[in-house]
Structure 1
Amino acid sequence: MTKTRLYQSQVICFILIFIISCRSKHETFLEEVNDFVNLQKYDKALQIIQDKLESKRDSDEVISITKPRRERHLRMSQDRNRIVWSEDSKLIFRDIPNPLVKTQKLPEAPYEFRIASNAEYSLVSFRLKNTKGCRMLAISMLDEEMLYESGAHIACRNSGGIAPDGKTIYYFIDENLYKEKTSNPKKPIKIIDSAKIIPPYPKLRNKFSLIPINQHFLLVTGVAGSYNVYFFNTKSETLELLTKEIVSPKAFYAHGKSVFMIGGKIGNWLLREVDYTNPGKPKINTGFSITLREVEPWKLTTKNDFLSFYNNTIFSWGPMLPRKEFPLLCERAWGVGRDHIIYENKIGELVLANMAYSEEDWKVLELYKQVKKQSNQ
């Protein structure tokens, strides 16, 4: 055994002794890890610790035990206190603080869905058979009686939106923006001509999408890492350009007053905040540099702190702060309101967790890092 490996083994044993002295209920787990470390069977020790980090805590709440056949898609209200996710041919609504849960059954598995800023309504698209188009269905997530099918068909690559009162839907046809009341008779009305919605490369096959902010929307258009962002005012039905320097159509809500988008260039990303606190056209800042690990940023309640998920790991970070990994390993994760995490584990459960980890949890994470270092040598 080299001096380096001997020292690392001693560090691991010290961490194990510290945890055992603090809490006896994990003694069996820790002794088993210690036995494998002493035998230099680091891969087996690592697997035991990894299983521990992947397991649910007593404070975690399983909000879905179903493992869907298709990948879940999860959307949030603009304050991130409400979520809607898909499970095959169902959409499920959850109000996190209350908690209120509603399930809406759909005629088939959706191609995509978008929700209103308050998450109470959803515009669902279904792929048409033998075509590349999609049909649309507007539903209430709280009231099973509200169901409206639009007579219009759209290109499936484009995403529309629905008003927070559920009375109006918006969608794109031939790059024009239409609105339609969710009541009969069906009457689509063109409100913005395609000549006013200009993507960075007009000759390419661009995508068009709407991101709800309060009563209005951000309109994003472009393709392949180059997007223009407009502010669409639903009251005046006008369009104003916000920026031409966005690399992804994704947006990440803060706490109901702003949304973050990724700007800059591919490989040189900037996190930019679109502030819509005041009435009228939102303001977008110049942003700050981020790395590939941070391109899915969820704002925390503490100033300048964010939460991100990358490579099965959840961590907090800030523009001038080091990354801090959390003692949790999972398949996917999202940062929701009130500094909570929603994650998907290996068996497909959807779990709601707080960020209050114990000292013992942090020591287990440190143990995982040390054993992983040994295993990789």
Structure 2
Amino acid sequence: MADDSATHRATSRSFDRRTALKSIGVAATLGTAGCLGGGGGGGDGDGNTLRIGQTLGLSGPVASLDEQNQKGVKTGLAYARDNGFNLQGDDAEIEHITYDNEGDPEKARQQARRLVDQDDVHVLLTGTGSTYGSAVAPVAHDEEVPFIPYSSYTPTIAELNSEWVFVPAPRITQYGKGFLELMALQSNPPQKVGVLKENTVVGEEMAPAMVEYADDRGFDFDVSIIDTYDRGKDMTSSLQKAQNANVDALANAGHYKGDVAVARGTIQQGMDLKAKMAGVSISLDVFLKDVKDAANGMVGYTGFHPGAKTPLSDELVGRYEQDNAVPGWHDGAGFTQTLLATETAKEAGSLDKQDIIDTLHDGIWPTPMGTLDFDMAGKPSGLNHLTVQVQGGDRELVYPIDQRTADDFIYPLSS
């Protein structure tokens, strides 16, 4: 815990910066990304109002994901209010202040500073995306504000080693492990699993981790990286290399275009595959719509599934059913972020930021994403690691085995 002098320095620093920003007009630096809800900060007088600030990309490349995240956050706020949000027994309020960063990490960083310096928030959130979490984490660390991003636990966040950052999401290194475990369980497993590595953080973390995991587990099949490709480029050459390598299962360690190529291109090239895996797109409705029948049998990772036996999943699913909707991974993430912010303040009985992070570190938190426990650098344990497969246009939970929502796992694909 920071001593009194450190706390005083942080408070003085925030006040000086807030005054300076007002004098130059911080709003001008934010462009068109305006405040979407909640209004400005209430200052020190709002002693019973928890202010949660969030920057998320409601326009730009992750808009569809952050719309889901925002809905999950709003559902979490409703849950907190319905269950009597209070501080030491006194009724308290929750204010949620959001800004659209338009998918720009630099705007996300600027907005985080605005949320801290002008809106005086007690907790910071971001929407979907490791780049946004990595951009905002140093602000939260420097200003000593609890930060709960929906970002993977990136190398940037790990190197920060901050007690102020709490990441309820896995490292990308986890994404391919369930797929490999499923392959190992088959009576006629593949002989050679090929991995296509995108030249991004996703590929650089996920692809080598799959190879290393297979070696450590001693599987009776080979796992190797077949090709490295640039994000968004044509995938014909990479798929041809996989075909020439005679792989009978193929995984993409990358983003949307690579996932689409593995779904469609392998069929178009007549590749006889027993199994194939998408990198990060399996949870996207647009992926299923774009790829259609070619997605059938595709496997992928998720941190939340409505059929998983996790704490409060029934609560989340029930609230979505009232709107004839089904929550996905990013909805579950938003609900979890809000749950962590509100429950820790309630448990602490305080809006003091140090009290909030001490409570977060000390507690074990049941959420739809798993029963979470954070170390002093914000790394989580207890997360769900779920593997889903597209079956008949739906994402069915296929691993862990004891949580399956499908009657069976489609394998091999050619059967």
Structure with greater helix percent: 2
Tell whether the structures are fold-level matches, with TM greater than 0.5.
no
TM-score by length of 1: 0.25
TM-score, normalized by length of structure 2? Answer: 0.24
**Between Structure 1 and Structure 2, whose CA radius of gyration is higher?**
1
Structure with greater strand share of residues: 1
